Amino acid sequence: MNVAAVSAHFGRDLEQCLSRIEAIIEAARSREVALLVFPDATIGGYLGTFADVDRTGLPPSLPADAPELGRVAAMAGDMVVCLGYRETDDDGRHFNAAVCLTGDGVLGRHRKVHQPAGEQRAYRAGSRFDAFDTPVGRMGLLIDYDKTFPEAARTLAEDGAQLIACLSAWPASLTNRAPRLVQDRQSRLFDLYDCARAAENQVVWVSANQTGSMGRLRFLGQSKVVGPGGEVLARTWAKAGLAVADVDPAAEVGRARLVLSHLTERRPEAYR
């Protein structure tokens, strides 16, 4: 089956975001994509800075049953689609959230757990990592900085995930910027984490990131699909577009774990 990671820019205008989502879904459908992963903050965009966050300029916040998500579900049809948004709960708290859905409804959700400096001014932290079943296989969601921490992806893999979708709004370095995005220190780290998490957990990894700029933040792109051996199967580099790869998650994960099975050969009693 074809899986795809999106590199694209999404801003504050919700109707523009939804129009772009629809166009990308249709482009993916023309390529027979079964799983489509959008970046973090697909609906309403991400922050413009980590310092002195202006609360009047924050992304719009949507409830978990927002009509905008219903519209995306209708666009998705039988395609599995993952996307991010700023979520508000019944107590008025805000989270950096991701949802996985089809035309039949929501399959799984995640609230970003790990927060870089300054993000806590705009979002509360989530507290769980849970895998869930989908038509394309058992999978899990991570958001952005979550992938920096090995335990996050490992928790999903131990919960049976064979696919992990990581939705990002990952910017270039704020200091000592490189002249080209592909040379940026954060670009190297972004790619390193994608390949390392796929290989150490022996899963199919689908990594989507924003492009363009928001305020002081310039996003890297670099969306990709990574196989369970850590090999990059498709990528967008720094440009907007779709990274599409033909994968059979169950078969490829099975082959990767046939001789060396990282999950079953762990020795947790020796770890500190």
| CATH class of domain segment(s) 2-265 | alpha beta
| CA 8 – CA 248 distance, rounded (Å) | 26
Amino acid symbol at 117? A
Bridge partners of 139?
A: 132, 163
**Cα–Cα–Cα angle for 81, 214, 85, nearest 5°?**
30
pTM here is 0.97
β strands within 112-262, DSSP E: 139-143, 163-168, 204-210, 213-214, 217-218, 224-226, 232-235, 241-246
pLDDT of residue 55: 65
pLDDT of residue 175: 85
How many C-beta atoms surround the C-beta of residue 36 within 10 A? 28
| CA 12 – CA 85 distance, rounded (Å) | 11
pLDDT of residue 251: 98
Instruction: Please list the pLDDT of the chain residue by residue as tens digits (272 residues).
Output: 999 999 999 999 999 999 999 999 999 999 999 999 999 999 999 999 887 776 657 999 999 999 999 999 999 999 999 999 999 999 999 999 999 999 999 999 999 999 998 899 899 999 999 999 999 999 999 999 999 999 999 999 999 999 999 999 999 998 888 888 888 999 999 999 999 999 999 999 999 999 999 999 999 999 999 999 999 999 999 999 999 999 999 999 999 999 999 999 999 999 98
